Structure 1
């Protein structure tokens, strides 16, 4: 189900999409393949630091980046702010499934310039993805997502049962 809420559509679902894969018969093969898929390189030697990824690209791979997040847990709502500079609202999707909020974005641009014997063409693309496990129950029908000045703000109202209540000490 996809609803227009605020500026950015929010999709809700009860199921997380998973890929079906046949497991290998050897656990070390699985670890090696997982490492290669995640880091984009062979399993490193513990003695050779040249093969270790730098801290700068530790959480970025295959052209995809993780946007910085602020998660604010208020009494009546959870507010998540994500830095998504350079993305338009049409480039961003926000979804909730099984208590996990997922923000994804893909953007591409192309520019050309021709003057006489001069020709320039630039193509760029970028993508981002980030998921957050939500603490407590949120009212998925009232989720609002707005994009302004490169900041995506997702407001998730809490249900009555997950709001904190004061208990009198007797």
Structure 2
């Protein structure tokens, strides 16, 4: 069942520095190998800090597309309601804050496995160009938050003729 498209407010403001993301120093190389081979490396070959997987599970994954006149940003936020998301832009910095809330219901029995992450998250990233936050559009559909951020005039791509 498809969810209805929802608008999300984008605000301009001071960006608070996000907590440092725990990242393996080999993350980019691991990602290239994963893309090339189509599988994850066995755990003994991976170097990770304690709880890195748990911290990464809360931070939403993101796609950033740099187009001629705009920047398109998509965040994976499954199960997060529009009311629990806050987007802010300042210059080339974009911050998404949100929270996944725990349902209060009684579970009978003991958990055999509990992997669903709940709690607050913040994801801050640098955009490839300065954007006009007043013209920004945001929508939430099927667990994907999509932001369309028009570039300011001086940030738009243009061809330069070589003499």
**DSSP 3-state at the match of 1:90:** helix
Partner residue in 1 for 2:105: 112
Q: Which segments of 5 or more consecutive residues in structure 2 lack a partner in the other structure? A: 1-5, 23-47, 109-116
Deviation at 1:127, TM superposition (A): 2.6
SS at match of 2:7: coil
Structure 1 residue 67, shift from structure 2 partner: 0.9
State the partner residue of 1:58.
52
In structure 2, the residue matched to 1:10 is: 10
Instruction: Supply the distance in 2 between the matched residues of 1:10 and 1:38 (Cα, whole angstroms).
Output: 23
Contact 1:70 1:82 in 2 (8 A): yes
**Structure 1 residues 95-137: Cα deviation after superposition (integer angstroms, max 9, x where no partner):** 11242100111121334369xxx8xxxxx84332211112222
Tell me how far apart the structure 1 counterparts of residues 21 and 154 of structure 2 sit (CA, whole Å): 39
Q: Post-superposition, which runs of at least 4 consecutive aligned residues in structure 1 deviate over 4 A?
A: none
Q: Do structure 1's residue 67 and structure 2's residue 77 form an aligned pair?
A: no
TM-score computed with the length of structure 1 as normaliser: 0.61
Structure label with greater radius of gyration: 1
On the 8 A contact 1:64/1:129 being kept in 2, the answer is no
- Contact 2:59–2:122 (Cα < 8 Å) also in 1: yes
For the structure 1 residues 142 and 76, does the alpha-carbon distance in structure 2 shift closer, same or farther, using more than 3 Å as the test?
Answer: same
Q: Would the alpha carbon gap of residues 165 and 98 (structure 1) be closer, same or farther in structure 2, given more than 3 Å must change? A: closer
Q: For the aligned residues, what is the CA RMSD?
A: 3.1
User: Cα–Cα, structure 1 residues 59 and 141, in superposed 2: closer, same or farther, change >3 Å?
Assistant: farther
| 164 and 158 in structure 1: CA distance in 2 versus 1, 3 angstrom threshold | same
The aligned counterpart of 1:23 is: none
Q: 1:129 to 1:64 in 2, by over 3 A?
A: farther
Tell me, in whole angstroms, the C-alpha distance in 2 between the residues paired with 1:85 and 1:158. 28
Aligned length: 125
Any stretches of 5+ residues in structure 1 without a counterpart? 1-5, 19-36, 40-51, 119-123
In terms of fraction of residues, the more strand-rich structure is: 1
Q: CA deviation at 1:65?
A: 1.3
